[in-house]
Structure 1
């Protein structure tokens, strides 16, 4: 972000003289820019540079700095070099500190937050500290008296010149007199602020005119453009942002450690209170994932104990879970990732798979031991028989996560650690099943087998339950074998229902819907309120009080934990470089609402009710909701809505009219809400047309008039700043010369502004005419071209469906545009389309890689095709599960789909490998398929049940923030459940059909 400041310059002039030329300079001198966006306010320009992936941001910042320094000489006089900051999607507020007091002034609160609180928090690693919102900036005010100046023939510029000539900071030096070296000090600057009033301005016939005769000098504050209220009480708000990959919990914990000492050092009567702590949501979500993982581990362990009937075997399987997770965490930390919701979600997803390799290994060892083999031989044979199939299966699971690497933007930032957590854990699990598990079996099962061989051995309760279960399972296995045999005799009995199921799911897919990310109920509401353009902040504050009262009619007060207002734009333009604030002036602002956990309705329902009520109650105001929780803010990437229709081009009037016409059609789309034009083009404006001939006759120039008007309306702080240093704090404060707004209460009063002339004094009315008009409050650019943004939100409908209808309207209006102009849809919907396209393309590539891997392993195109035959069943199960649970296709559910496809492939690998072994022993395809199904029934069910049981807690979404991973769990459960049926019935049926003529001959090299 590149931030230029030139106080007092209207947005239109700011755009022409600063923003546009700076954009040209940056685009020509900074490498690898993907796009340039800018927002130009009155006196402030914020230019954001977006780069291609892989760019070294440090080099880009250096290039931007050099470019800005080189063009500054072409900027208006008094423009300072811009502030250049790094901005990322992850730089979002994670905590806000409120400073309030019944005894301290707003100026004292702002000063303390600006200098003391920010100094104390500066040591917090991973944090960024914008300047405070609200409060009043301290200034030494020189409030001009127009009547007194007229009487003494003195203009604002004369007062400013006198101040700059007599309140200055210049060194003097030393006087060396005799043997003494004296340090010479001159009273260049008054030691007290009141002394500024004693500075002389003019000598009129021996009479000295002082500043105090022309102005009221006092220790005051800049005119307020930003008001913060906490539960109706004016306060100061200090937002704290986290940097990039820093841990939210770590940053907030560091701040909370500092908070007690900060409160102890605060002035009496000051209350420092943390608000909107995002770490509470993050911690609850993390705890929920850990809780789900623990439940999954217990359920999985109980299932294994039920199947194997050995607590030692169950222990061996469960040992691999913490070891695999620990290894994965070490790998993630080595790559610079932190322990967060996504990495923990990946590990929770992996729990069901982690037991797979060990379970299959132990189950096969038990099967070999049941044949009467000795312990060591049973271990060696059992491990050897599945070594290659297990390796292929594990590789397939890892390959299906390759599409994640093709994501970009926020999705890449969120889901690459997720996929890495799974891959590292699964790979470690396979290594443990090849090394640690056989060793533990040899150490732990020897005593168990010896005990079982003793005569008169009495079974414990675990063995009795296992014996009962295995008896039941043997009957179940026999019935399954009979059913499979019935199906294999006429494969159409299996193939036709399976294909009908797949076809029905394909027909159902369009009704599932698409979202980028599930809606998360974080218990926070962020409402933007926009009044008529040009409304003064005092009036806007009254409007906010009325809106708050209506909000409490919709949301019961006992369910509101906190209600905070942030009205207007901050005094320091530095803050505009951060976050997704859509506030553009004193006529609008945000209301932040924190709801209590025990609320009667979910947050989305309160959003709907509040939106409907406010729009009916205040038809002259504009309301829209912005993302409040940390996840949505990151995914929106700095935009206030998920859909942003950008109409860009140099034909502004034509594009503005298109935007207004488009809004009418967009409002009719079902599910589209908060449709509004972001830009304000009707701010009331007073235009002064100076007569340069009259100015010349009066001995004046346009510069004289402009300087006097600048000082009168915006003070001298921009072009000719002057400072007074507080001797106690050592902090410099502006000495601001300005006519108070309450004096200029009518246009007539403005026309009475005195202007200095060589032959006397002139009033503004004598050399200029006043006209009323309208102008822009904010001007946006996209790649240097002017752009109008139409934002819209989504309610009670999936984002993909709304975006589809939006795109139809956009396509219609594209035909109406003149050449060179563009309409494009940006925002979260762009990330949605990109993520789905890239994941889809990547998944096709992953399937090709899996198929080629299977071909290489089996040296057969047909066997590889048989194995992947179970994948359509997994896809069908995913679609049905999402439809039944009212979930949508989104990135988490796609990740679950990927996982279910990987596990389905792994199970099919084991099934086909066993069937091939039987055929190599001389059996026909029918018998081999039947025996493979009967023998592999237990390990396939154990693997599937481990995954399903592991995903049940996640799919229920019972904890705070758990909504984001619920679709993932549901997709896994649905996909794997149906894929298991396909593995047990469809794959054997296909195998028996394809291999009726026997196995293919393996490839052999010609010895010659």
Structure 2
């Protein structure tokens, strides 16, 4: 897998076209059997939004895999912006010829002869049409074998009138392909596929589309197939946005309450409070026009602006009311009051907005994070100023005409009288506070040098705390999910891995209480497809790798970091032959890692692998001794066991063979014909093709 990073401002469409052109020109020079390159536009934010688990206790796994590839994929990807990985744990249907080696040798045949015979006798080719007289007929030919048992009747070779059939040297078997991955949902085998979003499609929209499509997909499948959504990232997004929205509403309510307490007039408070939601709505419209979305940063910016959105309207109303108290009629008071504070209010608003201007000069990840927040604040502030010049004076004219002044008339109900007493008590207390403040400021001004030096010294002394503060791009996020990577010794068969994972999960259940675990999902084996490799960031290399994903119940668990710390201490002691490291589970941390399994990625470039590896091991050992570094591991493994076969080319030449014959027959025997000469069997009723060879 090759990842190409471009400089900011690069035309990504032109870049993709150039990369595709270069890869296609190189493809002709690659060894036979190499799959064509796939060029996919990738973003660090292309992460799984939800895991879709499919399982069945009655339908064969090969049929479930066909339904996943032909129904689930088609239905889900019908929506723009939805992408999927190839299914993990799937058992694809494969028509296999199990060679009878003694019978094959006795007839002087080789596996390549059997593969060539299958390719020549089972054809998926069109024929054409023929015109006879005044009619035109479509011509069909029984080139494709319609039933799997009939593959055994195909001729392989005829010698001296004796024909060798497939059944004489091999057995036709209809079953699953060799297992490359195993997916288990809470201990039960099944199929798992990860669902992504592409482009600017909303996370919530994608997950909602999946939820709404599941009933339709189940109606197209046989009874007994179950579908379940797991590790739904939209729950985290909804909770995060909901929390920010909740805090913003509380801030708006507290701001309105504070204004009411200080002003003592519900009419002026209502006018000022109206400007808060209107300013936010204008900001949301502007963000939409710029292509931004409702996310944590934009919502955080709007929540940040709530407290200062009322400044312009408050100053405007207070100045208009002052003009009314001077005896002017409401219309003239509004004109004079608005004119007096027009320029000061504009300067004040621009001073707040200009603080966020430097964020627009940021680059990289920081720009993507903070520019939307700055835009949200700036648009809301500018909208607040415009509303204070237009809507607020209009509302004052209609709402406050004949009611200006602070509580001129005695209130008529008990609640109003109670609030009047509260307001007068607050004003009296505030006047006393202001008197004490004047005395304090006067004292400070008399000894300004002494107090100025003390404050300056305190500020300088506080700078000594800077080295003690940690530095990070984004704060830690507890999404209630844990990702644990498990590595067995290199060369471990995939059939041996489930028992290791069962033992590890037993320890996990001992440390994490059962009532706090929502889902336990494990994927055993490597990414068997190019697409899964491109979109995967788990660090999985081969069958000895496994990933365990733990989902905790929302609001019912202790901090995830505590469980990670406990597992990090317990697992290596109980399983010394296994390697463990944790990976970020939340979308924010995965995005900031730019698609690699860890926040810090160190690369060694140049030199032979056998010479570089000792240096890498020594460097890893030194890293593990640094306080604060955990889970330092080497991505590549160079110690996988291998059997080396050496050919004697002279003896092969004497026997009438070549190195190509040996390599080709070895490939067919160990890996099948799919790599170099793919062959398929077409199922007539369903028109679904299966690999044969």
Normalising by structure 1, what TM-score? 0.66
Distance 2:131 2:395 in 1: 89
Aligned: 1:117 with 2:76 = no
Q: How does 1:796-807 map to 2 (within 5 A)?
A: none
The aligned counterpart of 2:418 is: 461
Aligned length: 691
Select which of 149, 171, 191 maps to 2:146.
191
Task: Write out per-residue CA displacement over residues 2-36 of structure 1, whole angstroms, 9 at most, x where no aligned residue.
Answer: xxxxxxxxxxxxxxxxxxxxxxxxxxxxxxxxxxx
Shift of 1:647: 1.8
Shift of 1:359: 2.3
Residue of structure 1 in register with 2:113 after alignment: 158
Point out the more displaced range, 426-435 or 287-296.
426-435
Aligned to 2:660: 703
Does 2:554 match 1:597?
Answer: yes
Q: Does 1:319 align with 2:274?
A: yes
- Find out whether 1:70 has 2:25 as its counterpart: yes
Secondary structure at 1:660's aligned position in 2?
helix
* 1:492 aligned onto 2:418: no
Equivalents in 2 of 1:100, 1:259: separation in Å? 13
Write the distance in 2 (CA, Å) between the matches of 1:463 and 1:167. 95
Deviation at 1:204, TM superposition (A): 3.5
Secondary structure in structure 1 of the residue aligned to 2:541:
coil
Structure 2 residues not aligned, in runs of 5+ = none
Matched residue SS, 1:684: coil
Contact 1:328 1:421 in 2 (8 A): yes
Matched, 1:527 2:484: yes
Aligned residue in 2 for 1:626: 583
RMSD: 2.1
Q: Distance in 1 between matches of 2:417 and 2:324?
A: 20
In structure 1, distance between residues paired with 2:107 and 2:583: 54
C-alpha change, 1:466 and 1:62, in structure 2 (3 Å) is: same
CA distance in 1, matches of 2:219, 2:560: 36
Indicate if the aligned counterparts of 1:559 and 1:598 stay in contact, CA closer than 8 A: no
In 2, Cα distance between equivalents of 1:138 and 1:456: 83
Contact 1:90 1:244 in 2 (8 A): no
Q: 1:615 aligns with which of 567, 572, 580?
A: 572
Output aligned runs, 1:3-152, within 5 Å: 46-152=1-107
Q: Tell me, in whole angstroms, the C-alpha distance in 1 between the residues paired with 2:474 and 2:482.
A: 18
Matches within 5 A, 1:237-636: 237-367=192-322, 375-376=330-331, 378-449=333-404, 460-636=417-593
Match of 2:684 in 1: 727
Tell me the distance in 2 between the aligned counterparts of 1:389 and 1:705: 88
Alpha-carbon contact 2:264-2:406 (below 8 Å) kept: no
Q: Distance in 2 between matches of 1:566 and 1:696?
A: 47
Q: Secondary structure at the match of 1:625?
A: strand
Aligned to 2:519, the other structure's residue is in SS state: strand
Q: Which runs of 5+ in 1 are unaligned?
A: 1-45, 737-1008
* Deviation larger for 318-327 or 600-609: 600-609
Q: CA deviation at 1:415?
A: 2.5
Q: Offset at 1:534? A: 1.1
Shift of 1:453: 5.2
Q: Is the 8 A contact 1:342 1:414 kept in 2?
A: yes
Deviates more, 1:536-545 or 1:591-600: 591-600
CA offsets, 1:716-747, max 9 Å, x none? Answer: 112111111111221222112xxxxxxxxxxx
Confirm or deny: 8 A CA contact 1:90 1:245 kept in the other structure: no
Are the counterparts in 2 of residues 110 and 134 from structure 1 also a CA contact under 8 Å?
A: no
Change (3 A) 1:494 1:446: farther
Q: CA deviation at 1:366?
A: 4.3
CA contact (8 A) 1:554 1:613 kept: no
8 A Cα contact 2:154 2:165, kept in partner: yes
**Matches of 1:501 and 1:408, distance apart in 2:** 35
Greater mean alpha carbon deviation, residues 451-460 or residues 146-155: 451-460
Shift of 1:147: 2.5
User: What residue in structure 1 maps to residue 601 of structure 2?
Assistant: 644
Once the 2 structures are TM-superposed, how far is the Cα of residue 220 of structure 1 from its aligned partner? Answer: 1.4
1:452: Cα distance to partner? 5.2
Give 3-state SS (helix, strand or coil) of 2:66's partner: helix
The answer (yes or no) to whether the contact 1:91–1:579 under 8 Å persists in 2 is no
Partners of 2:614 and 2:337 lie apart in 1 by 75
Question: Tell me, what secondary structure is at the counterpart of 1:643?
Answer: coil
Q: Over residues 70-127 of structure 1, what are the superposed CA-to-partner deviations in whole Å (9 max), with x where a residue is unaligned?
A: 2222112343431221111111110111001111222122221111111111222321
Give the direction of change, closer, same or farther, for the CA distance of 1:109–1:345 in structure 2 (3 Å limit): same
1:808-887 superposed matches below 5 A: none
Deviation at residue 372 of structure 1 after TM alignment = 6.2
The two structures have a TM-score, normalised by structure 2, of 0.96
Q: Deviations over 1:662-703 (max 9, x none)?
A: 111111112211111111111111111111111111111111
Q: Which moved more, 1:447-456 or 1:286-295?
A: 447-456
